Amino acid sequence: MSASAEASVLITHEVGLHARPSVKFTKLAKTFAADVEIALAANGPWFDAKSIVKVMAAKAPKGTVLHIRASGDGANDAVDALAELVRRDFDEGADHVRTA
Amino acid sequence: MSGPHRLQGISASAGYAEGPLFDLDRTAAHYTARATAADEKAALEAAIDAATARLAALIETADGAAADILEFQIAMLGDDALGRPAFAAIHAGQPADRAWRQALDAEIAGYDASDQDYFRARAADIRDIRDQVLQALTEDGDVLAPAGAILYGDDIAPTRFLETDWSRGGGIALKAGSTASHVAMLARSRGVPMVVGLGASAAKLAGTALLDAEHGGIVLSPSRAEIDAFRQSSSSFAARRDLAGTFLARPAMTRTGTAVRVQVNIADPSDVDGIDIATCDGVGLMRTEFLFGRTLPDEETQYRAYRKVLEWAGEKPVTIRTVDAGGDKPVPGFTVEEGNPFLGLRGIRLSLARPQVFRVQIRALLRAAVHGSLKVMFPMIAIVEEYRQAAAMFAEEQATLAARGIAHEMPPLGIMVEVPSVAIVPEAFTEAAFFSIGSNDLTQYVMAAARDNAAVAHLNSVRHPAVLRLVAAVAAFGQRQGIPVSLCGDAGGDPASIPSLLEAGLRDLSVAPAQLAMAKAAIADVSV
């Protein structure tokens, strides 16, 4: 079955979609068969969400609305799961705050 | 090289190291081209695998932030998109080393060009990946630094840091570098002394060096007397640091129970990521020059930077200084070239001469003010008219924002006390909401000794009676008039100067984050 899905979500992480969140994000994206892409604007440009090189190159800072779209098998699940990861602040919360 | 040679930079991680210099920038070994494109491709694939295996081995023993960096690098190396341009170039006839270098350099350039400090700092991580693979390609055996060495070069790779055995001392001295880099973060958490921004030196550097990462300097070819003095400072630092740890979490108080406010100086919004707000009384100085590094920043970029720090500080005050470019901090397209820049168009003089640029910063500050307890101060004020002119521009921009229905707030507007004319006649500046003594500049102007000139460093002391008398006069005047007075120069965090500053009447100091604990410990030793 072929499907497509789309969502947008606000990045609240302190320094945005940076190294550690990007690793988590691309790892999760790769668990889905669907093609997944991200963009910083609704009209693109779109980047491969399974490539950390491309995701990092998007340089999405805090406060950016991240657009996620997918097509193919499990497109809905992929978009839901990835948007949820961003919403959960990449499961980092306050533990990424170092002490002096 | 004859005689001692001193370089000044910025402390990224406080501490002392004495040891041989180890050059990080030695040219890489020669790569022998393979016979065919297929062989070149195989060589690069093998090198990428070897580099990945090496990183994976390091991750076994790494923890926390170090493991995160390595995991990020492994993920980058494992991504075909990284090597694709290189393999395309090999297919077109390039040797593997050149193809890989060019592909990665293009990637690095993308990070270098970012207007965000965090992403810019990632360039060092990608350089590291590049060099790991190049090293595997050239089969260059690992040249490890001798134990206790001071690693010296343009910048340092995170893997180099992680591979180095720091248990026997040693430190890092970088010509470029950033206090926001992964390595700086690692150095602070492991207590490895590190200085960045030493600048390019023409001299051939080798031999023993003394790294003073408490004050951000390095002495090359030191004299016997310098070595002795250094060792004294070093052991005093170690003792103070051990003691200081116990002071960090507590409010600062003198031996006799006088409360002293201790705030932090920051140069970049990401600096606050490493500070627990509970350990300080706010931000006494947030520099904004970092925003003006490459290009003039737009309003949104500035607003986000200010807001981040204000939200971090919560109810505690954040004092942001309007751009203090000029002097030793030139900005292309903004500052002017002058014969005597410390006495020229810098600080507020430059901002008033470039109202279009200044107004962008003013709007960003007014908008950010709603997110916390903001105070704004102007650098290099010499006459009250400058303050009035700047304050009038704040009022004008406030009216504009109000007319457009944009959320904003007018922060208290204060001045830096760093030009002697203000310190001598503070009564001319009672319109200012607060005074913040910039001891670095005040000292250099009172003593007529440039702070970037090692030849006159002996004159450049905040503890000279002439400087201290002015500090005391400003503190006393502020107290009489109900104008808050703080000090945000390097002296505020210098344990040797703290007794004199408190005796001069100051009760509010702002220090580098790395000096917070030591400053509190030094305060606890003073009887005022």
As annotated, the active-site residues of A are: 18
Query: Minimal Cα–Cα distance from A61 to chain B, Å?
Result: 8
Are the C-beta atoms of residues B18 and B234 closer than 8 Å to each other?
Answer: yes
Question: Are the Cβ atoms of B69 and A19 closer than 8 angstroms?
Answer: yes
Nearest-CA residue of chain B relative to A62?
Answer: B304
A97 touches chain B (CB under 8 A): yes
From chain A, the residues in CB contact with B512 under 8 A are none
pLDDT in the model for residue B172: 95
**A63 part of a folded domain:** yes
CATH code of domain B37-138: 1.10.274.10
Show me where the domains of chain B are located.
5-26+143-239, 37-138, 256-523
Note the pLDDT tens digit of each residue in B50-77.
888 888 888 777 777 778 888 899 999 9
**A96 part of a folded domain:** no
B304 touches chain A (CB under 8 A): yes
Cα atoms in the 13 Å half-sphere on the side-chain side of B227: 9
pLDDT in the model for residue B335: 82
Note the pLDDT tens digit of each residue in B334-352.
888 888 888 999 999 999 9
Range B256-523 classified under CATH 3.60.20.30? no
- What phi, psi does B187 have (nearest 5°)? -60, -40
Nearest-CA residue of chain A relative to B275?
Answer: A100
pLDDT band at B310 (very low <50, low <70, confident <90, very high): very high
Note the pLDDT tens digit of each residue in B195-243.
988 887 656 666 789 999 988 899 888 888 889 999 999 998 888 778 7
- Confidence (pTM): 0.59
pLDDT in the model for residue A2: 57
Range of the domain at A39: 4-87
Residue with the larger pLDDT of the pair B8 and B44:
B44
Q: Give the CATH number for residue A62.
A: 3.30.1340.10
Side chain identity at B97, as an amino acid letter?
A: D
**A95 part of a folded domain:** no
The predicted complex's ipTM stands at 0.82
Fold designation for B5-26+143-239: Glucose Oxidase; domain 1 (3.50.30)
**A19 part of a folded domain:** yes
**Inter-chain contacts counted by CB atoms under 8 A, chains A and B:** 77
Question: With pLDDT > 70 as the criterion, what percentage of chain B qualifies?
Answer: 93
DSSP E strands, B425-480:
435-437
Are the C-beta atoms of residues B443 and B500 closer than 8 Å to each other?
Answer: no
pLDDT in the model for residue B4: 61
pLDDT in the model for residue A100: 28
When divided into structural domains, chain A yields a total of: 1
Note the pLDDT tens digit of each residue in B375-416.
999 999 999 999 999 999 999 999 999 999 999 999 999 999
Query: What is the average per-residue pLDDT within B412-439?
Result: 98
**A39 part of a folded domain:** yes
Q: What is the rounded CA–CA span in Å between residue B503 and residue B485?
A: 14
pLDDT band at A98 (very low <50, low <70, confident <90, very high): very low
Question: With pLDDT > 90 as the criterion, what percentage of chain B qualifies?
Answer: 51
Lowest mean pLDDT among A62-71, B114-123, B465-474: B114-123
* Kind plus residue range of the DSSP H or E element containing B23: strand B16-23
- Asked whether the predicted pLDDT for residue B515 surpasses 90, the reply is no
Nearest-CA residue of chain A relative to B278?
Answer: A99
**A93 part of a folded domain:** no
Note the pLDDT tens digit of each residue in B360-379.
999 999 999 999 999 999 99
Are the C-beta atoms of residues B221 and B5 closer than 8 Å to each other?
Answer: yes
